[in-house]
Amino acid sequence: MAPSPAAAMPLAAEPDDPEVEVEVVVVEERGVKGGGGVAGLDEVEGLVVGSYCHDVLLRGGRAVGETLGGAAAFVSNVLDAASPAGASLAVVSKVGHDFAYATAAAPARHPPVLCASPTTSFHARFSDDAASAHAPDRQLRRVHACDPIYPADLPDRRFAYGLAVGVAGEVLPETLERMIRLCRAVLVDAQALIRAFDGEAKGGGAVRHVALEATPYARLLPRVAFLKASSEEAPYVGVETARRRCCVIVTEGRDGCRLYWDGGEARVAPFPAVQVDPTGAGDSFLAGFASGLLWGLSATDAALLGNFFGAAAVSQVGVPTFDPKMLQAVKQILEKAVKRPCTHINGNTFTFQRSNIHDELHKSLQEAAMLVCEQKQANSPATDNGDICSINELTSLPS
Ligand SMILES: Nc1ncnc2c1ncn2[C@@H]1O[C@H](COP(=O)(O)OP(=O)(O)OP(=O)(O)O)[C@@H](O)[C@H]1O
Ligand SMILES: O[C@H]1[C@H](O)[C@@H](O)[C@H](O)[C@@H](O)[C@H]1O
């Protein structure tokens, strides 16, 4: 998998920023010491910033499920499961005293900060006719909003990479800027930047989108490595402008995803899934993608891992539990595929183009994806992932 110089892009560090220069040296030293994990990682730490939340799923006017939500929960779930040995994670998340999932796997591993305000909560109203893969599959209302995450809430140390994954406007522009200073490479979910909330009248504020260019986040884009948006969010991101500043990934539901960088683009094929709940697909995609970069894959190859975990996420309600056999199979595939003992997050540049192992990697992961489908068929609908109530109408959520 030789890096392609034509498609290489420098990391988003400001050359005159002394803080960032120090970080480059420290992380590269860690990376080349090697010998730790399969991809040669030795203590590569990631930073995930975004709050856990409560999700209430509604259909036909009534609640059909209540689950742990928040991109940080889905993202840390995938990164903990799929990263190579030697990679660790710090999660900065805020919840209120009413938080119902402190003992669920992700928050138990990465405890949130407790605030006086209530836990962020969303009502997701599913329509009966989400026919197109690109149609909005649900209407979201933010019912409660926990405190924002301030720059001072971030740990005062350096990270190999960071994921800005707010759901309710909690990642402030100054917090993203601090992340950029602390992390060698930052990956951002557009939903953290472009969500606005209509009047918080009774019943909460409907989630809508604003143009990224009109937000204070826009000026930070040249220092972001990857920006992920769903096809619904893409028009607000302005892909043609944004791709000149960073690599933009647009997820297209069951159709997979597309990557756009300055000078090229690629389509990455999806994996089969039995969809029961689309919530968290984008979050799981982004984390799968980041773990692909950690394994040393090019961006287009890493997007395969994004599609893989996006598909796995829609197969379960709430934060998914992965079959250990499936995870073992995925890691074996990656160990076999990745020969070079380095990670692109630790290198000086990212490469974007598909490598010559892309198709083979897709085929092998497809076999592992079948394990997810088999697991789904073997399990009864209720999953043990911290649901408040079990949901019997799972298959009636739109597919
Ligand atoms: N039905 C599906 N079958 C297979 N893969 C899917 C399906 N739905 C989603 N995915 C995978 O998950 C990725 C993200 O999905 P999608 O584009 O729907 O994100 P999203 O709208 O941001 O999701 P959410 O906001 O619910 O987290 C897709 O790019 C794809 O790889
Ligand atoms: O739990 C979900 C999930 O994190 C989604 O990605 C986000 O769009 C929703 O707002 C949130 O409720």
Task: Say which range, 42-46, 89-93, 112-116, has the weakest mean pLDDT.
Answer: 42-46
The full set of domain ranges for the chain reads: 33-392
> What is the amino acid identity at position 46?
G
Closest-CA residue to 92 (of 22, 146, 56): 146
Superfamily designation of domain 33-392 = Ribokinase (3.40.1190.20)
Mean pLDDT of the chain: 83
Counting ligands in written order, which one lies closest to the CA of residue 230? 1
Average pLDDT (45-66) is 94
Contact indicator for 291, 305 with CB cutoff of 8 Å: yes
DSSP 354: -
pLDDT, greater one: 211 or 7: 211
Q: Is the pLDDT of residue 344 over 80?
A: no
At residue 346, the pLDDT reads: 60
* E-assigned strand segments in 294-383: 349-350
Q: What percent of the chain has pLDDT over 70?
A: 77
Q: What is the pTM of this model?
A: 0.87
User: How far apart, in whole angstroms, are the C-alpha atoms of residue 210 and residue 196?
Assistant: 7
- Residue 251 Cα distances to 78, 179, 289, 391, 392, angstroms: 17, 24, 11, 27, 29
Q: What percent of the chain has pLDDT over 90?
A: 69
Read off the tokens for 147: 């405190």
If one residue of 76, 122, 319, 387 were mutated to test the ligand 2 pocket, choosing by the most ligand atoms within 8 A of its CB, it would be: 122
For ligand 2, atom 1, the nearest C-alpha belongs to 69
> 70 CB under 6 A from ligand 2?
yes
283 is catalytic: yes
- Residue 323 Cα distances to 47, 86, 95, 317, 328, angstroms: 25, 21, 28, 15, 9
At residue 174, the pLDDT reads: 98
What is the pLDDT confidence band of residue 374, given thresholds at 50, 70 and 90?
A: confident
User: How far apart, in whole angstroms, are the C-alpha atoms of residue 154 and residue 85?
Assistant: 24
User: How far apart, in whole angstroms, are the C-alpha atoms of residue 341 and residue 42?
Assistant: 11
> What is the amino acid identity at position 309?
F
> 166 CB under 6 A from ligand 2?
no
Contacts of 51 (CB under 8 A, 6+ apart): 70, 72, 93, 94, 95, 112, 119, 120, 146, 149, 166, 167, 168, 170
User: How far apart, in whole angstroms, are the C-alpha atoms of residue 298 and residue 290?
Assistant: 11
Considering only the C-alpha atoms of the chain, give the largest distance between any 2 of them, rounded to a whole number of Å: 57
- Residue 250 Cα distances to 13, 211, 227, 256, angstroms: 24, 16, 9, 9
- Residue 101 Cα distances to 54, 73, 180, 319, angstroms: 9, 10, 30, 11
At residue 340, the pLDDT reads: 58
pLDDT, greater one: 150 or 393: 150
- Over residues 267-315, the pLDDT tens digits come to 999 999 999 999 999 999 999 999 999 998 999 999 999 999 999 999 9
> 137 CB under 6 A from ligand 2?
no
- Atom of ligand 1 lying closest to residue 271 CA: 4
What separation, in Å, do the N-terminal and C-terminal C-alpha atoms of the chain show? Answer: 36
- Over residues 163-185, the pLDDT tens digits come to 999 999 999 999 999 999 999 99
- Give the 3-state secondary structure of residue 260: strand
Read off the tokens for 283: 């979050």
What phi and psi, each to the nearest 5 degrees, are found at residue 50? 160, 150
At residue 133, the pLDDT reads: 47
**CA within 13 Å, CB half, 11:** 24
At residue 237, the pLDDT reads: 98
From the candidates 80, 283, 323, 387, which is the catalytic residue? 283
Read off the tokens for 33: 């010491």
User: How far apart, in whole angstroms, are the C-alpha atoms of residue 52 and residue 80?
Assistant: 16
At residue 227, the pLDDT reads: 98
Average pLDDT (67-71) is 98
If one residue of 187, 248, 251 were mutated to test the ligand 1 pocket, choosing by the most ligand atoms within 8 A of its CB, it would be: 251
What is the pLDDT confidence band of residue 159, given thresholds at 50, 70 and 90?
A: very high
- Over residues 116-139, the pLDDT tens digits come to 999 999 999 988 664 444 556 789
- Atom of ligand 2 lying closest to residue 69 CA: 1
User: How far apart, in whole angstroms, are the C-alpha atoms of residue 243 and residue 390?
Assistant: 42
Contact indicator for 121, 144 with CB cutoff of 8 Å: yes
- Over residues 214-228, the pLDDT tens digits come to 999 999 999 999 999
At residue 313, the pLDDT reads: 96
For residue 235, the tally of other CB atoms under 10 A from its CB is 11
| Conformational region of residue 386, where left means phi above 0, alpha means psi within -120 to 50, and beta covers everything else | left
- Give the 3-state secondary structure of residue 23: helix
At residue 202, the pLDDT reads: 60
Question: Alpha carbon 160 to chain centroid distance?
Answer: 16
Contact indicator for 299, 364 with CB cutoff of 8 Å: no
